Amino acid sequence: MLSHATTVHIDLGERSYGIAIGAALLDDSASYAALPHASAALIVTNTTVAPLYAKRLRVALAGRYAQIHEVHLPDGEEHKTWQTLNLIFDALLTHGCDRKTVLYALGGGVIGDMTGFAAACYMRGVPFVQVPTTLLAQVDSSVGGKTAINHPLGKNMIGAFYQPRLVVCDLATLDTLPARELAAGLAEVIKYGPIADMALFAWLEQNMDALLARDRAALAHAVKRSCEIKAAVVGADEREAGLRAILNFGHTFGHAIEAGMGYGVWLHGEGVAAGMVMAAELSRRLGLVDAAFVERLTRLIERAGLPTRSPVLDAADNAGRYLELMRVDKKAEAGEIRFVLIDGPGQAVMRAAPDALVREVIDQCCAAA
Ligand code: NAD
Ligand code: GLY
């Protein structure tokens, strides 16, 4: 382990790896020392992150690879598509990259998900490293091996489970993150409380101001605890046979918001935030939690600067539109939507719910157009 980093291990047999968390890790060549030898690397990043961090990563990797290539993708959720994915394959083939070439995902969750999918596919699988530079990617998307692109009909519908060899979370990169993106990342941190760890939830209530002020120690704790929870869940259920689905608390409603509004209009974390309020309210209506819990969760989301009211997606039949979009969710079975609900604070459960009840929740939680 690097002396200035904390490492969280994710135990997946031969696919095990470490998540290094600390400051100034990105440009420290020691961060990458344990990776197997290869002659070439491809840094996959976007037009926003490249000017900030690509050169620093390239310098850190200079001693490891004879050739280091870069591809700069267009920035944004709306570019998480086949067409953009193909730019990675174009770069790999144009540079004559072999099957030992290591892909480095330098950026947020969009870059991480697309780079991982490209790594899973290129020559039927090449190694890849996650270097997440958003809070959301550091606490969630860079860990656990879910990789994907969007389809116009559904979020993250085309993808693969494919684990990185290493995750390097450099907390200093969060200094340049826009405030709206920092808040979006906090949604995924808050998520871990109701599903697994109410002590983390209470800590967030105490430390939300410090997190918003980017206090390094507070961020380090939030990233470490989030990665520990995610590593435990993924270690127990890598391919989401059951337990792993709890990590999707708020996502069934949230993905409908993202797709329904048009990818990139609401940030992923914003959709998850409003979606968690809806899922908590559905849990309450099913008798699983009380109103005080829903109120407590709503207040914390609000304090993070995140939306607690969901958008109207269709003026004529809003609930119908939500239901239509949610039936495309990956957790749906035979057209029946399965929700991650809270079965008492700190405990998640997967359940279907009557459409009529879901409609009531949507009507209650959506802001007027
Ligand atoms: P993102 O990747 O779009 O990044 C957000 C914005 O911040 C982008 O404009 C990006 O260019 C910019 N940015 C990144 N790092 C920066 C930095 N350090 N300084 C300044 N700007 C920076 O969004 P995200 O919130 O990181 O990720 C969302 C995506 O992650 C969604 O597509 C979602 O589906 C996916 N996701 C995947 C998983 C998973 O398990 N694979 C989990 C959660 C979310
Ligand atoms: N973000 C959900 C998962 O990794 O399973």
**Last residue within a domain, chosen from 135, 152, 176:** 176
312 found inside a domain = yes
Q: Catalytic: which of 58, 72, 268, 285?
A: 268
| Catalytic choice (165, 224, 230, 284) | 230
Query: Is 330 an active-site residue?
Result: no
Which of 141, 176, 211 is at the close of a domain? 176
Beta strands in 74-205 (DSSP E): 102-107, 128-132, 146-151, 154-161, 166-170
**Distance between CA 21 and CA 220 in Å, rounded?**
7
Angle, alpha carbons 135-141-143 (nearest 5°): 105
Residues lower than pLDDT 70 in the chain: 1-3, 368-369
CATH number at residue 231: 1.20.1090.10
- Ligand 2 within 6 A of 107 CB? no
Do residue 294 and residue 236 come from a single domain?
yes
How many domains does the chain fold into? 2
Confirm whether 361 is domain-assigned.
Answer: yes
Using the 3D structure, point to which of 176, 201, 219 is the last residue of a domain: 176
Whether ligand 1 lies within 6 angstroms of the CB of 72 is answered as: no
The answer to whether residue 156 is catalytic is: no
Q: Which domain holds residue 89?
A: 6-176
Q: 122 and 48: one domain?
A: yes
Ligand 1 atom closest to the Cα of residue 80 is: 32
pLDDT at 369: 43
255 flagged as catalytic? yes
Instruction: Tell me: do 188 and 252 sit in the same domain.
Output: yes
Closest ligand 2 atom to 188 CA? 1
Amino acid 113: pLDDT: 98
d(CA 331, CA 308): 23
Domain co-membership, 162 together with 293: no
Task: Quote the pTM value.
Answer: 0.97
Residues 192 and 56 in one domain: no
In a domain, 237, yes or no: yes
**Amino acid residing at 29:** S
Looking at the structure, tell me whether residues 142 and 190 fall in a common domain.
no
Q: Are residues 121 and 37 in the same domain?
A: yes
Q: Report yes or no: 257 and 274 within 8 Å, Cβ to Cβ.
A: yes
Q: How far apart are CA 311 and CA 303, in angstroms?
A: 19
pLDDT score of 3: 55
Does residue 31 line the site of ligand 1, with CB under 6 A?
Answer: no
> Is 43 contained in some domain?
yes
CB atoms < 10 A from the CB of 161, how many?
Answer: 17
Tokens describing residue 342: 């809270």
In a shared domain, residues 130 and 224: no
Token pair 């200094």 is found at: 175
Angle, alpha carbons 75-76-77 (nearest 5°)? 145
Q: Are 161 and 232 within one domain?
A: no
145 lines ligand 2 (CB under 6 A): no
Q: Does ligand 1 lie within 6 Å of residue 146's CB atom?
A: yes
Q: What's the CA-to-centroid distance between 287 and ligand 1, angstroms?
A: 35
Residues 242 and 329 in one domain: yes
* Measured CA distances, 150 to 78, 133, 210 (Å): 8, 21, 34
What CATH number is attached to the domain comprising 151?
Answer: 3.40.50.1970
Residues 236 and 108 in one domain: no
Percent of residues in the chain assigned helix, strand, coil, to nearest 5: 50, 20, 30
Task: Tell me whether residue 102 is in a domain.
Answer: yes
Same domain, 230 and 158: no
Residue 1 belongs to some domain of the structure: no
Catalytic-labelled residue, pool 79, 155, 165, 244: 244
- What is the model's pLDDT at position 89? 98
Nearest ligand to the C-alpha atom of residue 155: 1
Question: Which residues lie across from 196 on neighbouring strands?
Answer: none
Dihedral of CA atoms 133, 181, 223, 11 in degrees, nearest 10, equals -60
Q: Please provide the size of the chain in residues.
A: 369
Query: Which pLDDT score, from 0 to 100, does residue 2 have?
Result: 54
Instruction: Look at the block and give the residue holding tokens 């957790």.
Output: 331
What integer pLDDT is reported at residue 329 of this predicted model?
82
Q: Is residue 147 part of a domain?
A: yes
R_g (Cα) of the chain, nearest Å: 20
